[in-house]
Every structure is written in structure tokens, then in C-alpha cells.
Amino acid sequence: MATSSIITSPKNMSTAILIRVDQSGQGDYTKIQDAINSVPSNNSELVFIWVKPGTYREKLVVPADKPFITLSGTEASDTIITWNDGGEEGSESPTVNILASDFVGRYLTIQNKYGKSGKGVALRVSGDKAAFYGCRILSYQDTLLDDSGRHYYKNCYIEGATDFVFGNGASLFERCHLHSISEGNGAITAQKRESPLKNTGYVFLGCKITGIGGAILGRPWGSYSRVIYALTYMSGVVQPEGWNDWGDETKQKTVYYGEYKCYGPGAKRDKRAKWSHNLTNEEAAPFLNKTMIGGRSWLRAAPTQFNKTSN
């Protein structure tokens, strides 16, 4: 997938400019958005925004012209970004909007408290090459708009009731915990791939699925929707049929929904939708590493040296 503009990469990937956000006034800024705003347009240096513990009631945007930003807490449980917005236009509601490429989010809780009234996106990721580590992403309907680009989520907790991972990203979720709070039969994913030529889709590798009611693994927002669960624990919250065609039987012939060596009471395949796939070793192989997202070329280690901002 091509990015919309030419990005100049930092020359030194181990050193970052450090910006501190602290509500007590002991940092460079007291608001996260002010710290983001301080990064120059067409940024070509690593910027590490360290958010001290607290509850930040902000609606954040990382603009497309500000790549190479890391937004990091220390623990997700005590560094909380929260807002309350929603409605039918899910793209308007996100608490956190990532429009830039080469973004990293670490150890944050990102929350939309809109509740059961409609779509309330907590996190929208529309930039290419974005990675999230140890984050908690919380809402009810449409929690994570994994919109477009290549993305990597590791050790994240994602909670919702309806279509709570949705969009048309090419994304790998590794060792993540998906928790359904649907009291009925909610869908975990609604992936929007609309052409067999597009390399998009969601892969859940070594994940865990829990919940309080019933849940299906996915339904097709796009005709060529693609979702794979591999080596994933499925609790009894996963319904026996597993997958749903969203009322359009023609999509049964075009979607690609697969499972590979999943386990737990919800992983039994005897009553699964007949048009879903029980993948062989060979079929699963392309989805068991970072190849689909090209991760080896862009995933980066956290910086080890910091230069303080001049502010």
C-alpha cells in the first residue's frame, strides 16, 4: 500500500526528541494535543511524547503531516485518554485519530464513553505503518476503526459489543485480548476488503477471546472481507456458527474467513458456517508472521537516547 506523500525518514532511529506531558505542570505541556501541536509539519525526526499518569479528557488528532511520533504512557491502567462522542458517522467520533504514518502508541488506555446510544469510536488508525503495544482500547459499538494502512497491535486489550474491530486495514493482532460486552450476539470484526486484489485483512495470532454474552468472529462489511484467527483461545462466548454473512448470501462465495489451530470451548468447528475455512498448515503459513504487513521493514524498537525539546 502506498502512502499519500513522500516521507523523509529520521537518520537516527535510536534517538528521539523527548516531550513530557504532565497534568501537574511538571512537564513541557499539561495537554497531550498541545504536545502533538508542537511537532513541526513534515516532521523527519523521532518524537517521543511521554504522558505521565492521569486521566486526560481530550479528543486527539495526530495530523497526516506529523509522522514518527510515539505517544507513550508507563502503564495503560493509569494513563487514560477519554472522551464521549458518537453518532451515525463513526469517523467523526474517535477519541484518538491517527492520520500520520509511522506512529507508535504504548501503554495507554483509549476510551470512548458514548455507550449504547450508537457508534462511538475510541481509536481511528488511518495512517500507514502504525504500531500499538500494551494499549487498552474501550468502547461499545465500533471501538477500533482500523481504517487503512498497515498496522501492528501487540498485547492490547480491545473491548466492545458490535463490530468492535472494523475497517479496511492490513493488520496483525498478536497476543491481544478481545472482550465482547454484547449481551446478545455481537460481531467482533467487520472487515471491509472490497477487492480480491487488495492486500488487506485482519490476522489474530495467539490471541484470546472472552465475553459476557454471545459473539461471532466476524461479518463482512466488504464483499471480500478477510479475517484469520490462528492459535487463538476462544471461550464459550464464540457462537457455534462462528461467522455471519450479514444477510447477503452472495458474500459467502467471496469472503475469506479462516481459523487455524484455535482452541477452547468456542473453537469447535462442527457447527461452523460451511463457507468458512479450517486452514491447513500451508494455507495458514502466510498469516503466521509479519509478512502481510511488511513489518520487518518498518517496525522499530523504542528509542534508547533522548534529546529534550527546546520548549
**Cell numbers describing residue 289:** 508472521
Query: What CATH number does residue 49 fall under?
Result: 2.160.20.10
Report yes or no on 54 lying in a domain. yes
Report yes or no on 165 lying in a domain. yes
Give the residue from 275, 72, 286, 65 showing the smallest Cα distance to 170. Answer: 286
Q: Which pLDDT band holds residue 308 (cuts at 50, 70, 90)? A: confident
Q: Give the tens place of pLDDT for each residue, 249-262.
A: 999 999 999 999 99
The span from the CA of 254 to the CA of 185, in Å, is 23
Q: What is the DSSP letter of 252?
A: G
> Any bridge partners for residue 256, and if so which?
226
In terms of domains, do 174 and 188 share one?
yes
Q: Of the residues 94, 118, 147, which one is the last residue of a structural domain?
A: 147
- Which helix (DSSP H) or strand (DSSP E) does residue 178 occupy? strand 177-180
What are the C-alpha distances in Å from 168 to residues 64, 259, 305?
18, 19, 35
> What's the mean pLDDT when you consider all of the chain?
94
**Residue 163 known to be catalytic:** yes
What does the pLDDT read at residue 96?
97
What does the pLDDT read at residue 90?
58
Report yes or no on 271 lying in a domain. yes
In terms of domains, do 133 and 107 share one?
yes
Q: Which domain holds residue 57?
A: 14-147
Pick the catalytic residue: 28, 142, 163, 270?
A: 163
Report yes or no on 101 lying in a domain. yes
Q: In a 3-state reduction of DSSP, which class is residue 201? A: strand
Report yes or no on 166 lying in a domain. yes
Q: Give the tens place of pLDDT for each residue, 103-122.
A: 999 999 999 999 888 889 99
Give the residue from 210, 153, 163 showing the smallest Cα distance to 187. Answer: 163
Cβ atoms of residues 219 and 242 within 8 Å = no
pTM assigned to the model: 0.96
Please list, in sequence order, all residues whose beta carbon lies within 8 angstroms of the beta carbon of residue 282, skipping any fewer than 6 positions away: none
In terms of domains, do 153 and 278 share one?
yes
Q: Give the tens place of pLDDT for each residue, 209-242.
A: 999 999 999 999 999 999 999 999 999 999 999 9
Cβ atoms of residues 172 and 293 within 8 Å = yes
Report yes or no on 6 lying in a domain. no
Report yes or no on 72 lying in a domain. yes
Mean per-residue pLDDT for 169-192?
96
In terms of domains, do 126 and 26 share one?
yes
Q: In a 3-state reduction of DSSP, which class is residue 41? A: coil
**Cell numbers describing residue 68:** 514518527
Residues of the chain above pLDDT 90, percent: 88
